[in-house]
Amino acid sequence: MYELYIIKFMNPFVKWAGGKRQIMINLLELKPKKFGKYFEPFVGGGAFFLELAPNEAVINDLNSELISVYKSLKNKEAFRELYKLCKEHEALHSEEYFYKIRRLDTSIEYTNQPLPTRAARCIYLNKACFNGLYRVNAKGQFNVPFNGKSKVKLFDEDNFQALHQYFLDNDISIHNGDYQAILDKPKKGDFVYFDPPYDVVGNQSFTTYTKIGFGREEQTRLRDNFKNLSEKGVFVMLSNSNTEFIRELYKGFNIHIVQARRNINSQSNGRGKVEEVIVTNY
């Protein structure tokens, strides 16, 4: 059995490429002073979302494995099973076991697995794979190798329970699909934060979180949505690479250049200090 704990600050349950801890102080300084409902269409690991801990929010991600964790955190029965399965993964962990669990999504029956089963697998693979990298192939199958460690810890007890309690106590709507599907919901005074796959910078960027890519046509479509929301009076903020293409796309809006350090990349020369932009319409 487990007990529920409440802590003041919550942390993401996964290590996620492009996570916002490195620029959190900048995001907090640049967020609107007051806003209504919070929207995050590319929630990923949810660092900024969990830092804000809004009472009303709509979150979305195209990665169905990741979303299975959020949905399990929101459901009491699913969370109990998720907790149990995570403990089982910790106990059974080995290199052979890792590859056994990794191969599960090569079966056509995998998508019919219960939500907590997929959620526990997502967390386990994230914590037991090389450098916390989430990468899939063209078929959408996880393909990151083992990290070589003999032991793995899937979660911090207090944090995991606090995440569950937060989702139970607040009005959090969770979606799994194209980000644009939720963009008819924000109203004047609401706050939308876009944290999409970043614009490619040479060979140092990483955008294969799903089998569907996010190229410059998608970046342009996102800019158009940014403009549409702005016209409705919605507060909009976006993070991206500091590239000429992105700066040109968002010309006319407020572009803030910030420093970050990125430690998740399949190439070692893709890690280190980088410049990013935070774009706001206010």
Task: Flag whether pLDDT at 207 surpasses 50.
Answer: no
Residue 106: exposure state from Cβ atoms within 10 A (0-12, 13-18, ≥19): exposed
Domain membership of residue 27 (yes or no) is yes
Is the Cα dihedral 240, 279, 182, 127 positive or negative? Answer: positive
Higher pLDDT, 120 or 214: 120
Q: What mean pLDDT is predicted for residues 43-59?
A: 97
Here the CATH number for the domain that contains residue 199 is: 3.40.50.150
pLDDT tens sequence across 89-119:
999 999 999 999 999 999 989 989 999 999 9
Are 151 and 187 found together in one domain?
Answer: no
The residue among 129, 157, 185 that closes a domain is: 157
The pLDDT value recorded for residue 262 is: 65
What pTM does this model have? 0.90
Task: Flag whether pLDDT at 128 surpasses 90.
Answer: yes
Range of 173's domain?
20-62+169-280
The pLDDT value recorded for residue 10 is: 93
Domain membership of residue 32 (yes or no) is yes
Q: What mean pLDDT is predicted for residues 234-262?
A: 95
Instruction: Give the Cβ contact number of residue 155 at 10 Å.
Output: 19
Count of the separate structural domains present in the chain: 2
Query: What is the rounded average pLDDT for all residues in the chain?
Result: 91
Closest CA to 59 of 94, 21, 12: 12
